[in-house]
Amino acid sequence: MKNAILTITTKQAGMDEDLTFTMRTQCVETAEGTKINYEEALSEEDTVNTQLVIADDSIMVERQGEVGGDMFFKKTTTYETKYYAMGGLALDMRIFTTSLQIDKSNDGIEASVDYQLFLAGSNVGKMGMDIKVEYI
């Protein structure tokens, strides 16, 4: 197990500014890839437990809580799942990964993904995420 600083920057269609958060976490190397667990604060009362698995050619994000779902990114791959919104609403979600880059080194991991997001059959737009894991 390695201690790390995790920084995630999300780019959303229609938003003028990117959203960035940074936190301390721990990483575990498994056969599936590097596993990172963290909590996302949705509000002062609500959090979502998230597991991030970064493999050599893919990224899996699994959110467990009242809000969320899972997201899978692999270059030129379409992933279909459900997104769970507040109040128990479940929407069909489709993700098409347009680009994915993952660089692993002894110092950490840098990954970048761009994707098209569709919710309930409607194109939400082009989204992106940059992930930086710095081992400490």
- Reported as a single tens digit per residue, the pLDDT across 29-68 is 999 999 999 987 766 777 788 999 999 999 999 988 777 7
- Which of 113, 129, 119 lies closest to 82 in space, CA to CA? 119
| Spatial separation of the C-alpha atoms in residues 3 and 24, rounded to whole Å | 7
**Total of domains in the chain:** 1
Q: Indicate which CATH number applies to the domain containing 128.
A: 2.40.128.20
Q: Which domain holds residue 80?
A: 2-135
Tokens, residue 109: 């991991």
Query: What pLDDT band is residue 113 in, cutting at 50, 70 and 90?
Result: very high
**79, 72 contact by CB (below 8 A):** yes
**Would you tell me how many other CB atoms lie within 10 Å of the CB of residue 63?**
19
21-25, 28-32, 40-44, 123-127: least confident range: 40-44
Distances (CA, A) of 45 to 36, 40, 73, 95, 103: 23, 11, 29, 29, 35
